[in-house]
């Protein structure tokens, strides 16, 4: 029998069968009536998921590509920008804004720390910035930042606010309009339950008006916005991915965003409770907001590489190693998108067996019970 594969990473994530089926339909022409209504519905559903009235621009690109659209459209070489970084993705945005010639100021935290709005407020009093670049869910550490409070601090200084919501959109609340987020960037392959390949950017009128003059063409917001408003994509869209995203967003909205957020909180609780019951130490914060990915320290004397490899080789389970300096030290279990509590108990039971193989001293048989109980609990996690 072919080995069953399990994908428990924070992107790509498992894709529901209805989405896969939609993607297997014959190819249609992107300017024909076979596609235009799908395109229109996807754009409307994206606005609903982003909680915005503004245009959500869709690009054939990964999340990083959609983010680059923000950099290419907002940066004018020599201008001051402030990037808040507390992990791998914050570091990426420092490199990218700098590559476009911005004068980049960094509000940098140790990996695993949570950015503080008061630090941001203080920094913006010292040094002006045209835009503040934030990461909502720092997937490398499991920290979910308080974007609402950070954006409010940035707004006091009158800056544009750009948010990397690649791993968080659809999993935790991201109120584009209500929180005054000028640009929200995401990708198809995380909580949006679709294969990799589509990037999106919700762009406010203020961000659009603040465009700079770095060179750009494919990622030019004006070109895409103008075409999308006529439901005529500027370049050939990946029609099958768009059809898949339409179904996936339909599933998410049918569940209801609030219900999906609640489910993710409980999935995070279950994962943390299970890891602790095994006797492991959490790297990501033990708090409800940490609902995207759980980073766990490898036990004394065990490299996380061996855990990742053991899960793959023995059980066909893919999880993620640590990134950067955390490689070998932590491992990460993603729980965004098409996940239920049995995905968590599967991951935890396999983890228990692999840790025993590796000679770690773990508490046997306690993880799944703790996970199931935590998933059912309706009070805030301890
Ligand atoms: C996955 C991820 C990205 C990068 O997305 P790609 O689709 O791989 O380009 C950016 N930011 C965060 C927080 C992510 O989790």
Pick the CATH number of 257-376 from 3.90.1150.10, 3.40.50.300, 3.90.380.10, 3.40.50.150: 3.90.1150.10
Query: Do 293 and 334 meet the contact criterion of CB atoms below 8 Å apart?
Result: yes
Bridge partners, 6 (sequence order):
317
CA distance 165 to 28: 30
Structure confidence by residue, pLDDT tens digits, 10-39 = 999 999 999 999 999 999 999 999 999 999
Task: Tell whether ligand 1 has an atom less than 6 A from the beta carbon of residue 165.
Answer: no
Ligand 1 geometric centre to CA of 189 (Å)? 9
Bridge partners, 133 (sequence order):
83, 162
| Phi (first) and psi of residue 321, to 5 degrees | -75, 175
| Phi (first) and psi of residue 213, to 5 degrees | -125, 40
Query: Do 190 and 211 meet the contact criterion of CB atoms below 8 Å apart?
Result: no
CA distance 324 to 305: 13
Structure confidence by residue, pLDDT tens digits, 162-199 = 999 999 999 999 999 999 999 999 999 999 999 999 99
Look at residue 258 in the predicted model and tell me its pLDDT.
98
> Which residue ranges make up each domain of the chain?
17-255, 257-376
Q: How many CB atoms sit inside 10 A of residue 157's CB?
A: 16
Q: How many CB atoms sit inside 10 A of residue 32's CB?
A: 9
pTM, two decimal places:
0.97
Rounded mean pLDDT, 323-327: 96
| Phi (first) and psi of residue 357, to 5 degrees | -50, -40
Q: Is pLDDT of 294 > 60?
A: yes
Among 164, 168, 284, name the best residue to mutate to test ligand 1's pocket (greatest count of ligand atoms within 8 A of Cβ). Answer: 164
User: How would you classify the pairing of strands 160-164 and 183-187?
Assistant: parallel
Query: Would you give the end-to-end CA distance of the chain in angstroms?
Result: 42
Q: Which atom of ligand 1 is nearest to the CA of 190?
A: 1
Structure confidence by residue, pLDDT tens digits, 240-280 = 999 999 999 999 999 999 999 999 999 999 999 999 999 99
Max distance between CA atoms of the chain, in angstroms, equals 63
Look at residue 377 in the predicted model and tell me its pLDDT.
82
Chain mean pLDDT for the chain: 97
Among 71, 139, 186, name the best residue to mutate to test ligand 1's pocket (greatest count of ligand atoms within 8 A of Cβ). Answer: 139
Ligand 1 geometric centre to CA of 69 (Å)? 14
Bridge partners, 363 (sequence order):
none
Look at residue 382 in the predicted model and tell me its pLDDT.
42
Query: Do 52 and 225 meet the contact criterion of CB atoms below 8 Å apart?
Result: no
Structure confidence by residue, pLDDT tens digits, 357-382 = 999 999 899 999 999 999 998 655 44
Among 13, 58, 64, name the best residue to mutate to test ligand 1's pocket (greatest count of ligand atoms within 8 A of Cβ). Answer: 64
Task: Tell whether ligand 1 has an atom less than 6 A from the beta carbon of residue 91.
Answer: no
Q: Which atom of ligand 1 is nearest to the CA of 11?
A: 1
* Secondary structure of the chain as H, E, C letters: CCCCCEECCCCCCCCCHHHHHHHCCCCCCCCCCCCHHHHHHHHHHHHHHHCCCCEEEEEECCHHHHHHHHHHHHCCCCCEEEEEECCHHHHHHHHHHHHCCCEEEEEECCCCCCCCHHHHHHHHHHCCCCEEEEECEECCCCEECCHHHHHHHHHHCCCEEEEECCCCECCECCCCCCCCCCEEEEECCCCCCCCCCEEEEEECHHHHHCCCCCCCCCCCHHHHHHHHHCCCCCCCCCHHHHHHHHHHHHHHHHHCHHHHHHHHHHHHHHHHHHHHHCCCCECCCCCCCCCCEEEEECCCCCCHHHHHHHHHHHHCEECEECCHHHCCCEEEEECCCCCCHHHHHHHHHHHHHHHHHCCCCCCCCCHHHHHHHHHHCCCCCC
Look at residue 3 in the predicted model and tell me its pLDDT.
83
Q: Is pLDDT of 1 > 60?
A: no
Which CATH topology does 17-255 take? 3.40.640
| Phi (first) and psi of residue 249, to 5 degrees | -65, -35
Which of these, 167, 117, 115, lies nearest to 140 by C-alpha position? 167
Ligand 1 geometric centre to CA of 165 (Å)? 8
Burial of residue 9, with CB atoms counted within 10 A of its CB: 0-12 exposed, 13-18 middle, 19 or more buried:
buried
| Phi (first) and psi of residue 94, to 5 degrees | -60, -50
Task: Tell whether ligand 1 has an atom less than 6 A from the beta carbon of residue 60.
Answer: no
Rounded mean pLDDT, 289-295: 98
Query: Do 156 and 121 meet the contact criterion of CB atoms below 8 Å apart?
Result: yes
Task: Tell whether ligand 1 has an atom less than 6 A from the beta carbon of residue 89.
Answer: yes
Residues 6+ apart with CB under 8 A from 13: 7, 189, 190, 191, 193, 334, 336, 337, 338, 339
Ligand 1 geometric centre to CA of 63 (Å)? 5
């Amino acid at each position: 029998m072919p080995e069953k594969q399990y994908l428990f990473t924070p992107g790509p994530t498992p894709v529901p069968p209805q989405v896969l089926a939609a993607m297997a339909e014959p190819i249609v022409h992107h300017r024909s009536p076979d596609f235009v209504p799908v395109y229109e519905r996807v754009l409307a559903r994206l606005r609903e998921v982003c909680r915005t009235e503004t245009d959500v621009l869709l690009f054939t690109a990964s999340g990083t590509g959609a983010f680059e659209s923000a950099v290419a459209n907002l940066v004018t070489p020599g201008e001051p920008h402030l990037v808040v970084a507390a992990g791998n993705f914050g570091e990426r945005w420092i490199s990218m804004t700098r590559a476009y010639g911005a004068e980049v100021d960094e509000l940098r935290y140790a990996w695993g720390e949570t950015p503080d709005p008061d630090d941001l407020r203080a920094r913006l009093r010292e040094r002006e910035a045209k835009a503040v670049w934030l990461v909502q869910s720092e997937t490398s550490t499991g920290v979910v930042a308080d974007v609402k409070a950070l954006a409010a601090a940035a707004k006091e200084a009158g800056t544009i606010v750009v948010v990397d919501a690649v791993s968080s959109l659809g999993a935790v609340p991201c109120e584009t309009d209500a929180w005054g987020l000028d640009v929200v960037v995401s990708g198809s392959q995380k909580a949006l339950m679709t294969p990799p390949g589509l990037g999106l950017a919700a762009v406010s009128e203020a961000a659009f008006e603040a465009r700079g003059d770095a060179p750009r063409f494919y990622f030019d917001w004006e070109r895409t916005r103008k075409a999308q408003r006529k439901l005529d994509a500027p370049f050939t869209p990946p029609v099958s991915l768009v059809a898949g995203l339409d179904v996936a967003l339909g599933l998410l909205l049918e569940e209801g965003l609030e219900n999906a957020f609640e489910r993710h909180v409980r999935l995070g609780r279950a994962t943390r409770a299970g890891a602790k019951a095994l006797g492991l130490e959490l790297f990501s914060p033990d708090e409800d907001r940490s609902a995207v990915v759980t980073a766990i320290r490898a036990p004394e004397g065990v490299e996380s590489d061996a855990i990742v490899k053991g899960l793959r080789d023995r059980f066909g389970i893919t999880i993620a190693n640590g990134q950067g300096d955390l490689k070998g030290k932590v491992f990460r279990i993603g729980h965004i998108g098409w996940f239920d509590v049995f995905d968590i108990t599967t991951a935890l039971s396999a983890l228990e067996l692999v840790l025993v193989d590796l000679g770690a001293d773990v508490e046997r048989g306690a993880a799944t019970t703790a996970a199931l109980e935590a998933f059912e609990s309706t009070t805030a996690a301890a």
